[in-house]
Amino acid sequence: MKRIPLPALPAVLVLAAGLAFAQGSAPAAKKELVAKLLKLQQPGIEQLARTLAEQPAQRLILSVQSSGVLQRIAADKREALGKDLDADLRKYLDEAVPLLRERALALAPTTIGPVLEERLSEDELRQLANLLGSPVLTKYQSLLPEMQRALGEKLVVDAKGQIEPKLQALQKAVNDKLAAAAGAPPGPASGARR
């Protein structure tokens, strides 16, 4: 069988094809680098979720402490009440922290990922992923508050329906126990709001 020679492609077409191929692979490479960065940032994302779970419980505790209701409870009942309230708080955190951690890790690629892809070049992402301590680290750190805010806002909206009933159950348990210890009838108006 006789081979038919193909006409030589103009150098411009070869160069254009090479550029098109290189540009086509850049988004995939950036996505891989962003995924690697998200994996590296997992402890920070998990800490954000823990903080968001703890904040409402901390506000509740501060509210109880500032209300003065604990001082109206007999000293012999205060210690048992404290242990009981601690158990309720631990139960809430044991349920809320894993839920928010899971949701935060699921939402991070759609909240943090776009910020990284948009604001950092592929080379900057590579340097950051390799943790070389380059000036790009400073740029990345300056984006952290925006990314955490975006994730936090999205996480609050996303998990609100699941967290609200748990927080309300904690609030009711705290109020009922405080009311019972103070000798008041339990109910939604008793407890910290005196």
pLDDT of residue 151: 94
pLDDT of residue 42: 87
Instruction: Kindly list the distances between the CA atom of residue 60 and the CA atoms of 42, 146, 194, in Å, as whole numbers in the listed order.
Output: 28, 27, 14
Instruction: Give residues with Cβ within 8 angstroms of 123, minimum separation 6.
Output: none
Instruction: Give residues with Cβ within 8 angstroms of 119, minimum separation 6.
Output: 139, 143
pLDDT of residue 43: 84
> Which is it for the CA torsion 85, 89, 94, 96, positive or negative?
positive
SS3 percent helix, strand, coil of the chain, rounded to 5, is 85, 0, 15
Report the alpha-carbon distance of residue 94 to residue 35 in Å, rounded. Answer: 28
pLDDT of residue 68: 80
User: How does pLDDT run along the chain (194 residues), one tens digit per residue?
Assistant: 444 443 443 433 333 334 333 344 448 999 999 999 998 888 889 999 999 999 999 999 888 887 888 888 888 888 888 899 999 999 999 999 999 999 999 999 999 999 999 999 999 999 888 873 456 766 887 898 899 999 999 999 999 999 999 999 999 998 888 888 888 776 654 444 43
Report the alpha-carbon distance of residue 89 to residue 76 in Å, rounded. Answer: 21
